[in-house]
Structures are given as C-alpha cells and as structure tokens.
Amino acid sequence: MTTTPTIDSLRTVCEGRVHLPGDPGYDAARLAWNLLVDQRPAAVAVPHTVDEVADVVRAAAAAGLRVAPQSTGHAAAPLNESDLSGVVIVRLSELTGVSIDPEAGTARVVGGTLWADVVAAAAPYGRTAMHGSAGDVSVIGYLLGGGLSFYGRRHGVAANSVRAVEVVTADGSLVRASATEHPDLFWALRGGGGNLGVVVAMEIELLPYAEVFAGMLLWDRERSPEVVRAWAAWTREVPDSVTTSLRLMSFPPLPDLPPFLSGRQIVVIDGAVLEDDDRAAELLAPLRALAPEMDTFGRIPSTGLVAVHMDPPAPVPSVGQHLVVGELTEDAVVALLGEAGPGSTTSLMFAELRHLGGALAHPVEGGGVLTSVAGDYALLGVAMAPFPEAAAQGRADAAALCAAMAPYATGTHVLTFCETRGDLATVYGEGWERLRAVRAEVDPDGVFLANHTIA
C-alpha cells in the first residue's frame, strides 16, 4: 500500500531550509518586501541550488501542495488574495548571482538576484541593463512581468532583452527556453509571470551605456497646475530618447527624510535623456524654464539611475492602484489635479504618471507575450499603510484617483504595476488565449501559483 506524502516530507529537502508554521524561522521567511502583506503559506522553502528548487517542486506536488515562486515580495499583495494554506512559497533570495559576458554584451542572472547587483556587475564593462526605478526589485520577477524602464521609450519593454530562460517546471525538470529551444514557452515566459515554473536563471542583453543623462526636477506642489500642463505638452513632443515620470507627492514630517522632502507636498519630474549633454539640455529647456526648486539632471554613471526615482530604500507597507491612460487632455489634467493637486487632502504618497509610447508601443519581431505596452501614460496611486486605517484610506484614495482618471483610461494595464488581481485579458490582449494554452501544456495540474494567475 502506498501512502501520500504529507507536508512533513518537505523537511527532508533544502537541508532544513523549509519553514513551516510554528517553526522558529517561519515568520522571518514569510516576510514580503511589502510589509502590509501578511502572507501565511503552508511553508516557505529557501533553496540554495537549482537541484533544491527541483526537490521542493517535486515534494510539494507529491504532497498535493501548490508552489508560489517569490523573489523579494515587492508584488506579494495580489498573491495574498489567494488562500495560501496549501501553498509553498519558494523564496529565491538566497539563490542569486550574476555573470557578465563582455564579448556578447549579455548577463546571466540567477534566481532572486536584484537589479542593483546586475547594474553594478555590468558597469566595469561600460554597460547597464533595462532595470526599473528601484534597485531592490528582482530582475526575474520584473522581466517575467514585462518591465518598464527609464530606457523604455528608446529600447522598448524590458522583457524584450531576455535571450534565454532556465526554468524548473511542474514535474521538477530543468528546461531551457530560448528562440530555438521550447519557443512557445520562451514566448510565454516573457510576460507570463510565475505561472509557468520557478525561473532559476535568465540571460539578458545589456545596454551600451556607461553614463546616462538623468536626474529630477522638483517644485512645490502649489506649482503643479503649470508643471503638469507643461509636462503633458512636453511629453507629446519629446523624442523616444526621453523617458520620464511625473509625480505629485506628499511626505509626512519625518526626521529620516531629507529637508526637501520632509513634511512637503511637491511635484517631481524625473527620468533619463539618452542624448549628448547639449541636446539633453535643449530638450529639458521648457521644463527648466519653470524654475524648479531643485534640478539634478546631468550626466551620471549609469549605476546611479536606480537611485534617481527615490524609491524606498527598504521594505515598506503600501497599497496602490493602477491604470493606463491615453492623451493627457485638459480635462484629464484637471481630473488629476483635483485628486492630487494643490489643496488635495489625499493620503496618497504619490500619484504618478509614467510616460509610455516610443519603442514601448512597438511589438518586437520574435518578442514574448508582453512585447509592447499600449497607451500613453501608466498611472499609479500609492499610499503608505503603516496601520490598518491608513491602508483603508490609502485604498480608497487610490481608487478615487483611478475613478477620476477612468474616463481617460485605455482599458489596458501594465502587469508590473498591478497591485491587485484584475482582468488579465486586458493585460495580455491578443496573447491571452495562447498564453492560457501554454500554461495548460506546461503545468496541466496547476502546480504553480503566481501573484497574477493564468488559469
């Protein structure tokens, strides 16, 4: 007579680095970067090798448990919308590493490696990569969701830079997917999130920038009516070499914050201009003519671009909501300012617009399921939520921002900005049915649970 393995069988894998509820290491291991997310899975496994990843997947599946890959937990909120009591989180934070091939201009990035580490490793070779605004987001979690970079309007969706993916699939085998190996799986992995397996490595193409013209412009929020209107007009005209974001921001008076932020309400434009200094200055002139209180734009080592957006340097509790909008008409600007402009009492720490278009809008021949992004701007409202009432207020204010901007929405979404689960057909568009078919083929029993689930 055979018996079905129980969850205790997991204790035999990962040399004991599997933490079950009640174990001393469980609470530390289940912590997500978003500290608001109180995820309570059946177990958290922390593999150090690819073989250990495969062992966890096989042991979990044999015990009737599902597997949720997680690197940092930046995007843990949608995952936690599922009941995790039958789910093993595979935390990739201790399976990391990056190696650069200077001849090929590529990097091989392992498991849960962070963008900051890849950017630092590429810098000695005069190169950088299609990272996002924060250095502590994982490379693989971001690229599996597409990825919006300050290099995006020139170089497109970051997932287009992926050349090969090594993934542990539902039966525990290690599969390499590329343009010539398992091409359907390769297509699906470039945007299909953690639905297809635990990704243990990716090969990515690097960018040839040792330095970049980048920085931020800052005004008091009282100036936001003219600044937002100027940015709306400017972003209609700038070439693809310019990728920027505009944020209406509010900071509480905190001693840890620099004085230009503490207790302030401000409007900030930041990003990168991939031009020589003279041309960059010429392009920025209309914004600089508005006499910003701070102007840090200049040529910096490309390693510095992960700091320009001033994302939190450590885990925080936050809530947010997102949609994509089309042209910023006068009505759309008025709606935005009504929610987050002068006099607003919103609890949002920021209401942000990221400029899309340019190469981001163009599907790439041989690209993956998320090879382009439709729409002109990605809107994001985020509030800090250190206690439950703040979370409730933040959700309400983020929802109010999105409701006010809904008349200008395109109906599409950027997967990496989705803080809650939604209608994934609006993210994937034409690729949705093919993606579901690939998922059904590689994971017929639904072993893997991603934060955004393809079923």
Ligand X SMILES: Cc1cc2nc3c(=O)[nH]c(=O)nc-3n(C[C@H](O)[C@H](O)[C@H](O)COP(=O)(O)OP(=O)(O)OC[C@H]3O[C@@H](n4cnc5c(N)ncnc54)[C@H](O)[C@@H]3O)c2cc1C
Q: Which stretch binds ligand X (CB under 6 A): 58-66, 97-105, 138-146, 398-406?
A: 138-146
Q: Please, which residue, 92 or 242, has the CB nearer to ligand X?
A: 92
Identify the residue among 106, 142, 186, 306 touching ligand X (CB under 6 A): 142
Q: Which stretch binds ligand X (CB under 6 A): 6-14, 137-145, 287-295, 383-391?
A: 137-145
Per CB under 6 A, 70 contacts ligand X: yes
**Least distance in Å: CB of 278 to ligand X?**
28
**Least distance in Å: CB of 276 to ligand X?**
25
Q: Please, which residue, 136 or 184, has the CB nearer to ligand X?
A: 136
Q: Which stretch binds ligand X (CB under 6 A): 144-152, 177-185, 224-232, 368-376?
A: 144-152
Q: Please, which residue, 111 or 381, has the CB nearer to ligand X?
A: 111
Q: Which stretch binds ligand X (CB under 6 A): 136-144, 220-228, 253-261, 434-442?
A: 136-144
Residues 153-212 interacting with ligand X (rule: CB under 6 A): 193-194, 198-199
Q: Please tell me the count of residues contacting ligand X according to CB under 6 A.
A: 32
**Least distance in Å: CB of 102 to ligand X?**
25
**Least distance in Å: CB of 73 to ligand X?**
5
Binding mask 79-108 for ligand X (x = CB under 6 A): x------------x----------------
Q: Please, which residue, 335 or 382, has the CB nearer to ligand X?
A: 382
SS3 sequence of the chain: CCCCCCHHHHHHCHHHCEECCCCCCHHHHHCCCECCCCCCCCEEECCCCHHHHHHHHHHHHHCCCEEEEECCCCCHHHHCCCCCCCEEEEECCCCEEEEEECCCCEEEEEECCEHHHHHHHHHHHCCECCCCCCCCCEHHHHHCCCCCCCCHHHHCCHHHHEEEEEEECCCCCEEEEECCCCHHHHHHHCCCHHHCCEEEEEEEECECCCEEEEEEEEEEHHHHHHHHHHHHHHHHHCCCCEEEEEEEEECCCCCCCCCCCCCCEEEEEEEEECCCHHHHHHHHHHHHCCCCCEECCEEEEHHHHHCCCCCCCCCECEEEEEEEECCCCHHHHHHHHHHHCCCCCCCCCEEEEEECCHHHHCCCCCCCCCCCCCCCEEEEEEEECCCHHHHHHHHHHHHHHHHHHHHHECCCCCHHHCCCCCCCHHHHHHHHHHHHHHHHHHCCCCCECCCCCCC
Identify the residue among 59, 76, 391, 427 touching ligand X (CB under 6 A): 76
Q: Which positions touch ligand X (CB under 6 A)?
A: 69-76, 79, 92, 111, 132-134, 137-138, 140-142, 144-145, 147-148, 193-194, 198-199, 311-312, 416, 450-451
